[in-house]
Every structure is written in C-alpha cells, then in structure tokens.
Amino acid sequence: MKKQLTGWLLAVALVVAPWSGISRAATVPLSSLLNGGTFQSGDKVFSDFGYSATGDMPPATAVNIEDITDTNGDYGIRISGGFVDQVGGGASDAIVTFNVSVAPNVNKWIDGVTLSANPAVFAGTGLASVTETFIPTITDDKLVVYDFDNGQVKLLDSIAFNQGYKSIPVQKDIILHATGNSGAVTMSFVDQTFHQVPEPTSLVLALGGLCSLGVIRRRVR
C-alpha cells in the first residue's frame, strides 16, 4: 500500500508542477517557525505560525513553507507536504494558522486573498478540502477548495475584502477522508497569495502631487 501511495503522490506532483504558474524561492520547514519564527515573501510578513495534525497527516517537520509570487505579482506562501488519508479509521485533519502583515514602511493594504490547492481522491471514494477563515478580524468571509468523489471539484478560490487591512489572522483547515475500502485521498500543496492596494494616505499624497504638477505646468504656459 505504501509503495502504491508513493506512486500516486509522485503522479500528482508531476501533473501539478507545470500548472501552477507560480515562481518560488526560499523554503523552510514549518517546524522552524512554530516558536515565534517569521517568514517574509516580498512585502508580506508571516508570523505566529501554529500547526496541529491528526490521523495520517504529516508532522510539522515534514511540511515546508515556500515564498511564492503569482502571475499578478501578489506575494504569498506555499504550504507543501505529503498530506494524506488512507482507508480505515476516520478522517485526517491538519490545521495551519498564522498572521500575515504588510512589511514595515510599505504603504499598502491587504484587500484580497487567493487560495489554490491540489486535493485528489484516488481509486476509491472520499473527500478532500481546505477551508480558510480570518477570524476574528473578518467574520463573514471564507475560502474553500475541494475534491469530492462525486465529481465536484474546485481548485481555486478568491475573495476581495470590503476594506483594506495591515494585518490579518489566517486559519487553514485541511481535511481528507478516504471513505471506501481502497485508494487514498491526497494533497501535496496549498498556495496562498494576498492582493494589495496603496494605503489611502499615500494615494492622497500621490494625487496631491499630480495636482500640484498640473498647476505648475499651467503657470509655465
């Protein structure tokens, strides 16, 4: 069973690698960030990491955090590892938590989030999903990606907030459940990027500068 499962995980990795359109650089084990460590991706700073796992989910030492940039130029992180649930027993669950903040002296606000992953139900029945919340800062929005054995699949979700934030908490719940007598449910990565807009004060200053430039040009004429 282990050899068969390894083959499935490798197949998923090969299929997904060219699809993601993500550029990556630094990589660290999640375990190195759990005791107050921070991780920076572009102008986003990630801190206060937490991790808990049940069932067949990997330990924090076998989960990596990578910095990524998506095709829109938004910065974020990839959480990668051998997330799996094998047949027998209940569901396997992993919860990853962290805070994301705009780096100091960067005049930006976080106003949106994109979530993507590669959940997959192999050779049997089951479900795989990632649910993301931002409690207590944001209580009326969440993101969800999933693969259910009845053919329902959603690999990408995004949301635009009603306002901008300098910092938000993130809770990511990865749940996998192989419900049949054979096969397995797997996931090897979860990508997360954060969209940003100029800070209101910096935008006002920029508009003021343009207005001043217009006045100067009129005087010169």
Q: Which of 95, 100, 96 is nearest to 38 (CA)?
A: 100
Write down how long the chain is.
221
Tokens of 43: 């102008």
pLDDT digits (tens, 9 = 90+) for 76-127: 999 999 999 999 889 999 999 999 999 999 999 999 999 999 999 987 899 9
pTM score, whole prediction: 0.81
CA end-to-end span of the chain: 81
Tokens of 187: 């996931």
pLDDT digits (tens, 9 = 90+) for 167-212: 999 999 999 999 988 889 999 999 999 999 998 764 444 444 444 4
At 29, the amino acid letter reads P
Beta bridge partners of 115: 157, 192
